[in-house]
Structure 1
Amino acid sequence: MSIATVNPATGETLRTFEAMDGEEIERRLQLAEATFRTYRTTSFAERAQRMRRAAGLLDDDQQEIARTITCEMGKPIAQARAEAAKCAKAMRWYAEHAEELLADEEPAAADVKDSGAVRALVRYRPLGPVLAVMPWNFPLWQVVRFAAPALMAGNVGLLKHASNVPQTALYLEDLFHRAGFAEGCFQTLLIGSDAVDEILRDERVRAATLTGSEPAGRAVASTAGEMVKKTVLELGGSDPFVVMPSADLDRAARVAVTARVQNNGQSCIAAKRFIVHTDVYDAFTERFVAGMRALRMGDPMEEDTDVGPLSSERARADLEELVDDARRSGAQVLCGGERPEGPGWYYPPTVIAGVTREMRIHREEAFGPVATLYRARDLDEAVLLADDTPFGLSSNVWTRDEEEIDRFVRDLEAGGVYVNGMTASHPAFPFGGVKRSGYGRELSGHGIREFCNITTVWHGA
């Protein structure tokens, strides 16, 4: 795959970039290793000052970088601005909280005495250069939610971004450099996927984090396992959105539309499978389908656009195949489901009912504005349907019954359960999944500690 900016709204190639050769990659690996030796000794106050400066610069650049994001991957411009603002917020959050999150921990006095020590503590120390393999769908946020905690912990970063967002990738390197971070603290590697394995095998790279597809995660995890290196993986999702009889149906349906089509439906944590109790199935479906039909699909640079194009021609073809397979197998397409005429890789908001386990769309992640509807007879069937997926990233539950809430929180196989609201990441809360959605956590204290050496310090008499 070439490294290029291709506008998904038109299919026009705007800029192309040459992949870095082996000599340049080696120079950058050397720089990362050398920079880490000194950067790791900087104080939290020094790191926080630079991180806050990066947040301020990002605020200043918000409109410009939002246009770049939209041009490269197609999300509506208002959502691109919101993504930039969210990144600045996360930078400030880690600047404020990193020191307390990584403060030395003292075991209980009785345990220290029992160990024969006069003093003991647990200290968090940085690992070194961390390779980040990141996707195109949130080209700023996916990187910042790794970079902010990693840099605040004293690590340095090497970014291999998706090949269709090179300008955003280069912007990030420049942003951190302008904020006062040394040149080797955060570097963008303009390379293809075929170069990742060799870099990950390099002894100077101490760990890796990947957000992306399941095959990409398997490849990185395999190499990292062979090299005995720590990894954090955030892979696909097919999140359930469960609606029970006590739910506020009007609000649930409105949120359901947003939860499905955010980022043009190209989000791992977007709600994808809508599981509705039979008592309210018809009422919810009527509201939900009407909301999906009312969305405005069009030029993502226009402020009133709700849904822009998919990221690539291949992405649209993959989504079409899932919808067509379901239709051929007997599913009912309640709205959408047909490719529009004209340029760009657009696909309309689509709702499919009558999905069965044999259909591909039941087993595979639909990465685009396509929702599947399921009817559940009772709470037990709702839980079974929600968990009937190889993924386990997050989940959404709509009910005002406390016993039902307790049951969903206990039994849903997911990294998050959002009650009467849609899944959204926040720097204070851990984010990640189970099953084939990956392992490890980003954000919060859990995220910043993922790439730390948790060191026991024991003092004898």
Structure 2
Amino acid sequence: MAEARAFVAATPNLFQTFNPATAEKGLAYPGHTVDHALSIAANVHRAQVAWRRVGFRERAPLMKNAAKVIRDNSSRYAGLMTEEMGKPVTDGLAELEKCATCCDYFADAAEGFLKPIPIDMSAGYSGPGAPPKAFATFNPLGVILAVMPWNFPFWQVIRFAAPHLMAGNGGVLKHASNVPGCALALEEIFRLAGFPIDLFRTVLLSSRDLRPLIEDPHIAAVTLTGSVAAGKSVAATAGAVLKKGVYELGGSDGYIVLEDADPIAAARICARGRMVNGGQSCIAAKRFVVVESVRPAFERALVEEMKRFEMGDPSDPKTLLGPMESVHSRDQIASQVNQSVNNGARLLLGGEAPKRPGAWFPATILTNVLPGQAAHDEELFGPVAAVISAKDEQDAIRIVNASEFGLGSAVITADTARGERIAAEDLDAGAAFVNQNVRSDPRLPFGGVKNSGYGREVSEFGIREFCNIKTVFVEKL
């Protein structure tokens, strides 16, 4: 380890990690040059050309092996997440089990999802004998470049890699710069699982050096999870060379709490949804739009629920709220809270960063949140809940939909039929949950609308995103 540190210290292109709990430096990793990254992409392309000819029955055991590698190394991988982005170790272990489950799911389901679909050509056919044969088949596109964020450093990657490797594609991962150890561990997972050596590779590359990789002929398509600005930039570059992309961007999920909801049950759902990953999640609940008649009782219950999320050592299995991913992110959320309070919002809980090293910010609740305040108009990427009052159901729907984002949404009501109608018909989002907090699942299509991006991940819809949906038409001579 001492020799490795000496090597990286002498390398100018370093990816330096910092422990968010202490702000101390961690390991540093040597980055790749653009030329090296392009060489890696070429190697992945060569591996993928052979891999696409491998059958599902040969792919599936390797993906099952990947699930086993994840489980066998879960303590080490969870420790990496804690060290690099501050995730509480219990949350990290849960994330890794979700990754393993995803690998198992697509190992079992991919062949069925990508089975050729017959097309009936009999309508209007008047020729002799049987009508022509036609079907749609799903062929892999090639090598997919994945540009991934730090907040779920294993899950965000596995939910792309598991379906698309099973579909016959290859992968190049450009991960967030603050989680290089996690990025290299992901490459390790597929290598240890027995996949072809170059089928899935990590490049440690700065975002400013991405353009040549996106434009490289060995890259067939791009998937990105990140900010709206990052998504627009990458989509513009990929679009200019006519490469398909799937983009999961920001979110400011609105949860409607109707007047018939049990305020204590609603607060429990909302607090769980708000505090997932310390609030650092695109699909974390961020805006609670509460019908006025139930708002006071809901706020009292929400304060009690949010108090449970005490800041603590992220390496302690009992900790529910660790540090944020960086001091910069902590300062940004603190600024948004201060701006909101200065413009009329009222603090019910928290709101002040402790005077200690590291990226700490407490569980916080703002009420009287109105247009013109950061808590109302912007995405709050941290442990801050915004309570917004609505007059009635229609007003609540209007408020939730009046957002540039459309990733997730929820309705909490005692009348499940009413909630189902609102979720299915009225909410402008890629997902709408009733009486439950929004989450991703390998079985459910995941993605957004508006500035939350486009395209879908996981499920049978997601695995087809990076396939050539090809029409095959056969007629006898």
- TM-score interval w.r.t. the shorter chain? over 0.9
TM-score by length of 1: 0.98
Per-residue CA deviation, residues 439-461 of structure 1 (Å, 9 max, x unaligned), is 00001000000000011001122
Per-residue CA deviation, residues 85-123 of structure 1 (Å, 9 max, x unaligned), is 000000000000000000000012424947995211110
User: 2:322 corresponds to which residue?
Assistant: 308
Deviation at 1:25, TM superposition (A): 1.6
Q: Counterpart of 1:9 in structure 2: which amino acid? A: A
CA–CA distance in structure 2, aligned partners of residues 387 and 457 of structure 1: 42
User: 2:189 corresponds to which residue?
Assistant: 175
CA–CA distance in structure 1, aligned partners of residues 124 and 239 of structure 2: 34
User: 1:452 corresponds to which residue?
Assistant: 467
User: 2:313 corresponds to which residue?
Assistant: 299
User: 1:218 corresponds to which residue?
Assistant: 232
CA–CA distance in structure 2, aligned partners of residues 30 and 180 of structure 1: 20
Report SS of the residue matched to 1:163: coil
User: 1:165 corresponds to which residue?
Assistant: 179
> Does 1:101 pair with 2:113?
yes
Q: How does 1:23-422 map to 2 (within 5 A)?
A: 23-111=35-123, 113=125, 118-401=132-415, 402-422=417-437
Report SS of the residue matched to 1:343: coil
Deviation at 1:36, TM superposition (A): 1.3
Relative to structure 2, which stretch is displaced further, 407-416 or 282-291?
Answer: 407-416
CA–CA distance in structure 1, aligned partners of residues 396 and 243 of structure 2: 39
Give the conservation status (yes or no) of the 8 Å contact 1:2–1:163.
Answer: no
Per-residue CA deviation, residues 297-350 of structure 1 (Å, 9 max, x unaligned), is 111111111111010111011111111110111110111110101111000010
Q: How many residues align?
A: 461
Give the conservation status (yes or no) of the 8 Å contact 1:430–1:442.
Answer: yes
CA–CA distance in structure 1, aligned partners of residues 125 and 304 of structure 2: 67
Deviation at 1:408, TM superposition (A): 3.8
Q: 1:24 to 1:110 in 2, by over 3 A?
A: same
CA-based RMSD = 1.5
CA–CA distance in structure 2, aligned partners of residues 111 and 314 of structure 1: 62
CA–CA distance in structure 2, aligned partners of residues 419 and 125 of structure 1: 36
Gaps of 5+ in 1: none
Per-residue CA deviation, residues 49-88 of structure 1 (Å, 9 max, x unaligned), is 1000010111111111111111111111100000000000
Deviation at 1:409, TM superposition (A): 2.4
Report SS of the residue matched to 2:293: coil
Give the conservation status (yes or no) of the 8 Å contact 1:117–1:458.
Answer: no
Report SS of the residue matched to 2:54: coil
Give the conservation status (yes or no) of the 8 Å contact 1:68–1:167.
Answer: yes
Q: Counterpart of 1:125 in structure 2: which amino acid? A: N
Give the conservation status (yes or no) of the 8 Å contact 2:164–2:170.
Answer: yes
